[in-house]
Amino acid sequence: MLRQYFLDGLTIDVLAELYQIHRATAARRVAAARERLVDSVRGMLKAELGMGDHSVDEIITLSNLDESLGTLLRLTR
């Protein structure tokens, strides 16, 4: 769902219809998947760069995360 949302540009309403679920459920699923991905990226940054939580959070906040998520998802195809 997250790939379809970011890469294909499908809206929450379209995803809900596609998966035959309520739009609120689709929105929660996209939000949960996004959060898992952000947590994973946060963990990788901490491990690879030896950074603390505060520094990693600053990087994530300063970056345009929505664009970055699209790039990450394209790379993992």
Alpha carbon distance 61, 77 (integer Å): 25
Give the pLDDT confidence of 31-58 residue by residue, as tens digits.
Answer: 999 989 888 888 888 888 888 888 887 8
More confident: 22 or 55: 22
Classify burial at 6, counting beta carbons within 10 Å of its beta carbon; exposed 0-12, middle 13-18, buried 19 or more.
Answer: buried
Q: Which of 12-16, 23-27, 32-36, 41-45 has the lowest mean pLDDT?
A: 41-45
Could you please report the per-residue DSSP string of 33-51?
HHHHHHHHHHHHHHHHH--
